Amino acid sequence: MGREIQLDGAETSVVKAIGIGSSEVDGETLLGRIQDLDVAEVIDAVRGLMMQGFVEADSSAFYNAKEMADVNFRVNSGYAKDLKEAIDEKPQQKKSKRVRRE
């Protein structure tokens, strides 16, 4: 049974922009992929994801877009499956309560 991960809209956008795979994304590319959010919102979402262990980075000392541009980000592979399920918008099917009797 997977862990229940609850993400807000900004966090979902950040995880999608980084990508669930094992690739790294630099901060400049990350900010370019998320243009609908303010830089401060992106930094706040990334820091929250890092504090929870969902996202890893080369450095945690970035406070503006210029400092963030040089940092590489990646999704923690231990949470990749759970994050993918949290982002997936398909509703989970309810298990049937019907039991076959013989």
User: Positive or negative, the Cα torsion across 51, 10, 69, 26?
Assistant: positive
In this predicted structure, the answer to whether residue 102 has a pLDDT above a threshold of 80 is: no
Which fold would CATH assign to domain 9-87? Answer: Arc Repressor Mutant, subunit A (1.10.10)
- pTM for the model stands at 0.78
Q: Domain segments of the chain: what residues?
A: 9-87
DSSP H helix total and E strand total for the chain: 5, 3
pLDDT exceeds 60 at position 1: no
Give the model confidence (pLDDT) of 41-93 as tens digits.
999 999 999 999 999 999 888 899 999 999 999 999 888 888 888 888 665 66
In tens, the pLDDT along 21-32 reads 768 999 999 999
Supply the pLDDT for residue 60.
Answer: 85
